[in-house]
């Protein structure tokens, strides 16, 4: 499968993809606007191979984002502090982000946290992904328990992509 970074000449701009991913679905508030994938990985710089440590698919939290000149802020807001998905993602991030997994200058292993969002309305044709962001757990409203994970990415580490369908390898329907 091949991914092509979106440029300003594309049908959907990067901002269009982000807007399509964020907020509440006004027509169907019970349906999320985006699917979310949070992954922790170790990348072997010498071979290019990735070892996926954890992978969490989310379909329900609200995504909010804001991009400025230097950073991309991405919030994943869950139903509550006791939401099982919220608890799982926080656990995975805390278990991965420990000194033992830190970057080691003598090793070729690079620790990576990847967050991917895919707008439901664009039917899987576009997605946005950020790597190596910092994160914090916070409440979505003042004086409440934490229910949101905020990621901050450098702009050079957050991009929007279009999936090139001509490169997709689909199984032959005649084979069984």
Examine residue 32 and state whether it is found in any structural domain, yes or no.
Answer: yes
Count Cβ atoms below 10 Å from residue 9 Cβ, excluding itself: 6
> Which pLDDT score is estimated for 3?
55
Q: List, for residues 60-70, the tens digit of each pLDDT value.
A: 999 999 999 99
Dihedrals φ, ψ of 53, to 5°? -85, -50
> Which pLDDT score is estimated for 176?
42
Examine residue 139 and state whether it is found in any structural domain, yes or no.
Answer: yes
Examine residue 171 and state whether it is found in any structural domain, yes or no.
Answer: no
Examine residue 61 and state whether it is found in any structural domain, yes or no.
Answer: yes
Distance CA 129, CA 80 (A): 24
> Which pLDDT score is estimated for 79?
95
> Dihedral of CA 59/74/16/30: which sign?
positive
Examine residue 173 and state whether it is found in any structural domain, yes or no.
Answer: no
Number of domains in the chain: 1
Examine residue 175 and state whether it is found in any structural domain, yes or no.
Answer: no
> Which pLDDT score is estimated for 101?
84
Q: Which of 51, 32, 30, 33 is nearest to 42 (CA)?
A: 51
What confidence tier does 124 reach under pLDDT thresholds 50, 70, 90? confident
Residue 30's domain spans which residues? 2-166
Name the pairing type of β-strands 158-164 and 34-44.
unpaired
Does the pLDDT of residue 5 top 90, yes or no?
no
What confidence tier does 170 reach under pLDDT thresholds 50, 70, 90? very low
- Least confident range from 47-51, 63-67, 107-111: namely 107-111
User: Average of pLDDT values for 143-165?
Assistant: 93
Examine residue 26 and state whether it is found in any structural domain, yes or no.
Answer: yes
User: Average of pLDDT values for 128-146?
Assistant: 96
Helix (H, G, I), strand (E, B) or coil at 4: strand
What confidence tier does 11 reach under pLDDT thresholds 50, 70, 90? low
> Which pLDDT score is estimated for 103?
82
Q: Which residue has the higher pLDDT, 105 or 135?
A: 135
User: Average of pLDDT values for 76-89?
Assistant: 97
> Which pLDDT score is estimated for 149?
98
What confidence tier does 106 reach under pLDDT thresholds 50, 70, 90? confident
Examine residue 42 and state whether it is found in any structural domain, yes or no.
Answer: yes
């Amino acid at each position: 499968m091949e991914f092509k970074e979106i440029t300003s000449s594309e049908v959907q701009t990067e901002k269009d993809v982000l807007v399509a991913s964020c907020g509440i679905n006004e027509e169907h508030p019970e349906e999320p606007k985006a699917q979310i994938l949070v992954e922790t990985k170790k990348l072997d710089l010498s071979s290019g191979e990735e070892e996926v440590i954890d992978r969490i698919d989310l379909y329900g939290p609200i995504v909010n984002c804001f991009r400025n000149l230097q950073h991309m802020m991405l919030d994943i807001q869950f139903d509550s502090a006791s939401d099982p998905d919220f608890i799982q993602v926080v656990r995975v991030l805390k278990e991965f982000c420990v000194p033992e997994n830190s970057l080691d200058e003598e090793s070729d292993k690079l620790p990576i946290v990847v967050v991917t969002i895919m707008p439901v309305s664009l039917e899987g044709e576009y997605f946005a992904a950020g790597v190596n962001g910092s994160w914090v757990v916070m409440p979505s409203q003042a004086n409440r328990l934490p229910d949101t994970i905020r990621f901050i990415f450098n702009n050079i580490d957050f991009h929007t992509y279009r999936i090139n369908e001509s490169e997709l390898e689909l199984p032959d329907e005649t084979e069984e």
